[in-house]
A = this chain, B = another copy of it.
Amino acid sequence: MHESLTIGQLSTRSGVAPSALRYYERLGLIRAERTGGNQRRYARTELRRVAFIRISQQVGISLEEIREALDSLPASRTPSAEDWARLSAAWRERLTEKIRLMTKLRDDLDGCIGCGCLSLRRCTLYNPDDSLSGEGSGARLMLPRPAADPAPAA
């Protein structure tokens, strides 16, 4: 158990379910060698990739974007500390921006809902576009124009 890890081992060590690891592989986020009997064997470096994936998810980044980021790592050599640092630097900015928006939301919450005005449009709170919305999944919070529904409104 030195050279490589089974999927169970990687799962245990990363805290990520085997099914999720297979899913990540399908999406091209991680890679595995195969044994003669077709079982996955992970290089230890995959542990770091998995860590990066989970942390990125906490930042609110989609797997697709994470994949793009990972794709930018050097293919030829094992990624260095600098490589990882470069990736996380970008995340850091997003995180900072997110924190900024949430802080604004909290402050507005005091002034705006707190007072009971809740007047939407006028209120900085009600601002679908700048969104803390990396979060929401399938649903786009609001389309540029609400070209939805048979008959939206005047």
| A residues in contact (CB < 8 Å) with B | 6-9, 11-19, 47-48, 50-52, 54-55, 57-60, 80-82, 84-85, 87-89, 91-92, 95-96, 98-99, 102-103, 105-106, 109-110, 113-121, 123, 125-126, 128, 131-138, 141-143, 146, 148-149, 151-154
CA distance A102 to B13 in the complex (A): 24
CB closest residue in chain B, given A56: B113
A102 and B92 within 8 A (CB): no
State the oligomeric state as a number of copies. 2
C-alpha spacing A8/B123, complex, angstroms: 21
**Contact yes or no, A60 B132, CB < 8 A:** yes
Closest residue on chain B to residue A84 by CB atoms: B116
